[in-house]
Amino acid sequence: MKEQLEKLREEALLLISGAEDFAALEGARVRFLGKKGELTAILKQMGSLSPEERPVIGQLANAIREALDEAIASRRQYLEDKALSERLVKEELDVTIPGTPVKMGHRHPMSIVLQEATDIFISMGFSVAEGPEVELSEYDFDRLNIPVGHTVREWQDTFYVTEDEAVHLRCQTSPVQVRVMEKTKPPIRIISPGRVYRKDEVDATHSPMFHQIEGLVVDKGVTMGDLKGTLNALVRRLYGPETKTRFRPHHFPFTEPSCEVDVQCFICGGAGCRVCKGEGWIELLGAGMVHPKVLQMSGIDPDVYSGFAFGIGLERMTMLRFDIDDMRLLFENDMRFLSQFQGV
Ligand code: DAH
């Protein structure tokens, strides 16, 4: 029996120390030390031993059990260490590899130009006002001296929100003038950028939604000279100090006198070309001296105060700034177009 035990020890130790993974190790443990294991099986024959032999064999059996337990523990430790170091090698992090850059977005060309224009106006003492896009007809029309019957109040021009025509999507940023005037005592010097809506078909120069920058200055002694000086300063800072402007008489219900301001064509320099349709000039904005009736309707005394106002098309301004010949490019979100403004 002693030999049997020693043979078992030898065989078991060999198997344990050679176990290549946890399953093989567990297999060896069950095979030798399990309830139905080989050591147990040998010990079950102890009854047939003489009383002298029994303690000797018992001791040997215990020693073997301990030796196997120890061998299994140390092999398990070895396998665990090995697994860990393999994992560490596999998951090694090379901090010297350059990182994958995060793809940054960038500003839309209209945001770029709006920011430029806003900076210019702020440098001239203007602040930025806001108004709602869903507007009362009273603000967008009546109090801008656009009475019932005027063409822009027609259903085919205007997106009405209510059947009684009292609420609509504003067709200009001019109602912000009224909102500012009724709340603020002069001096007033604001711009108000925002979206406006008209029932226009989409083409190279039209969209049912576009953007304007409204401007309003009200103070004592404001003249047409101030209007020209301000708008010339804007145009020259946006498009270069040599840029020529033309103030052309026009009509707006809320200004008197009114004008439109053209910029000399940046393509042909005034000779006439496809972009300016042979005119040599490109229209940029509408402006004028605030109509006394408009001042009065908002509680400002036209005998004391005067003012000028303007409305610039932001799409037009952006197209001029970057030589863009189709307005649809500004709204179609084509990355081949937009990505050209990265870093501008
Ligand atoms: N609201 C006008 C438009 O949409 C533009 C405009 C013209 C605004 C003259 C003004 C102005 O403030 O004085 O066509």
Mutate to test the pocket of ligand 1, among 252, 262, 306, 316 (most ligand atoms within 8 A of CB): 252
Pairing of the two strands 209-219 and 255-264? unpaired
- Is 118 buried (19+), middle (13-18) or exposed (0-12) by CB count in 10 A? middle
| CA 73 to chain CA centroid, nearest Å | 58
Give pLDDT tens digits for 204-255. 888 999 999 999 999 999 999 999 999 999 999 998 999 999 999 999 999 9
Distance 252 CA to ligand 1 centre (A): 7
Q: What is the pTM of this model?
A: 0.72
| Nearest alpha carbon, ligand 1 atom 4 | 172
| Nearest alpha carbon, ligand 1 atom 5 | 311
Residue 1 pLDDT class (50, 70, 90 cuts): confident
| Short-list 287, 257, 259, CA closest to 177 | 287
Give pLDDT tens digits for 117-146. 999 999 999 999 999 999 999 999 999 999
Residue 303 pLDDT class (50, 70, 90 cuts): very high
Question: How much is the pLDDT for 323?
Answer: 87
